[in-house]
Amino acid sequence: MEILLKKYVLKLKHAFGISRESYDYQDTLIISLSLNGKTGYGEATANSYYNITVEKMQQEITSVKKDIEKYHFTTPEDFHKWLTTKKLSNFSICALDLAANDLFGKLKNKPLYKIWDTTLDKYPVTNYTIGIASVEKMVEKMAEKPWPLYKIKLGTDNDIKIVQELRKHSDAIFRVDANCAWTAQQTIDNSKLLKELGVEFIEQPLKANDLKGYEKVKKESHLPIIADESCIVEEDVQKCAGSFDGINIKLTKCGGLTPALRMIKKAKKLGLKVMVGCMTESTVGISAIAQLLPQLDYVDMDGAMLLESDIATGVIIRENGKVVFPDIAGSGITLRV
C-alpha cells in the first residue's frame, strides 16, 4: 500500500467554546492509503484533552510507514488488529483505520453501510452544536442556523439561564453537554429544570472517572445520561452499563470504525443507547461517521458544518438535516485540496 500523510489547519466559522477551552482553528491529519488504483482517506483531529497533536500522530505513523507499505491488505479488521500491535495512539490508528475502510469499500465498489448490511431507510438527524459563548452570541449562533436539534455546550455559572434564553428563540429539541463540569447534585437538580425546558438528555456531566457519582445520578436524574469522556475504548462499554443510559462513541478515541462497530454491538446488547460524535472533523471524518448512521440512536456529526472551508467532498448534510450520500463507494470521500 502507498501511504501519504498531510496536516491541515481547519478554520472554524466561529470560535468554539466548551467547558474547558475555546478555539478558532482545528488541526487535523489526513491519511491516504492507495492500492490497485484506488485511494481511501482517513482523518484524526488533534485534541488537547487527550494530549494529541498532528505532529505526534505524524511521528508515530512515520515510524511504521515502511511496514504499512509492505503490508498485504485484505480486510480492515485484519489491518486494525495488526495496527494494535504497533506502538500507536488510538488517534493515529483511527486515521489509518478510516482510510483502510474507505479503501476497502472502494476496492469492493460498495458504500460501507451496504458492506455492513444496513440500509438508509431510517437514521437519526444530527444535532447542530452551539458552543459556549455569551448568551447573546449563543442566541445569535442558533438564529443563524435554524435546525431541528441543537446540542448546547454547558459548564458555565449560568447554565440554566442559557437554556432558558435559547428556549425563548427555538422550539427545536435540545440536548446538553456539560463536558465534566458539574457535580452529581448539580446534575440531578439541573436535570429537572432542563427536562421542563425540552432537553432530551445530558452528556457527560461529571468527571470521567466518577462512576460512583454517575450511579447516584442515574438513579435520581430526570433525564437520560450519556457517557462521552467516560467511554473511550471498547472495554469502557461494559463499565458504563450500570452508570449511564447510553454512550457517545468517538472514532478518534476508540481507534476508528472497526472498534466502533464492535462497541455499537456490545452497547446494544447491554441495553445502552448508542450515539456517535465528532471531534470537529472535516468531511473526511464526517463521511466515515455517516456510514454508521443506520445503526445509531443519536448522532453528532456537524463537524464539517462548523468549518469556514472544507477540504473534501463526500457525505453532505442538507439544511433540513437530511443526509445525502454521494455515488462513490467506501465512505464516499474525494479530497479537494
Site for Mg ion in 51-70 (CB under 5 A): none
Separation CA 325–CA 185 (nearest Å): 43
Could you give the 3-state DSSP secondary structure of residue 167? Answer: helix
Q: Give me the residue label for grid cell 515510524.
A: 63
Q: Is 227 left (phi over 0), alpha (psi -120 to 50) or beta?
A: beta
Contact segment (CB under 5 A) with Mg ion among 57-65, 171-179, 215-223, 233-241 equals 171-179
For Mg ion, the binding residue among 159, 228, 236, 281 (CB under 5 A) is 228
CA-to-CA dists, residue 53 to 162, 211, 281, angstroms: 32, 29, 14
Least distance from C-beta 16 to Mg ion, angstroms?
A: 12
Is 203 annotated in a binding site? The answer is yes
Active-site residue numbers? 153, 250
Contact segment (CB under 5 A) with Mg ion among 58-66, 169-177, 286-294, 302-310 equals 169-177
Of all residues in the shown chain, the one whose CB is closest to Mg ion is: 228
The secondary structure of 78-122 as a DSSP string is: HHHHHHTTSS--HHHHHHHHHHHHHHHHHHHTSBHHHHTT--SSS
Is 228 annotated in a binding site? The answer is yes
Q: Is 325 left (phi over 0), alpha (psi -120 to 50) or beta?
A: beta
Could you give the 3-state DSSP secondary structure of residue 151? Answer: strand
Least distance from C-beta 10 to Mg ion, angstroms?
A: 19
Is 189 annotated in a binding site? The answer is no
Closer of 99 and 206 to Mg ion (Cβ): 206
Contact segment (CB under 5 A) with Mg ion among 173-181, 237-245, 307-315, 328-336 equals 173-181
Closer of 60 and 228 to Mg ion (Cβ): 228
Q: Which residues in this chain contact Mg ion in the complex, by CB under 5 A?
A: 177, 203, 228
Q: Which residues are annotated as a binding site for Mg(2+)?
A: 177, 203, 228
Q: Which residues are annotated as a binding site?
A: 177, 203, 228
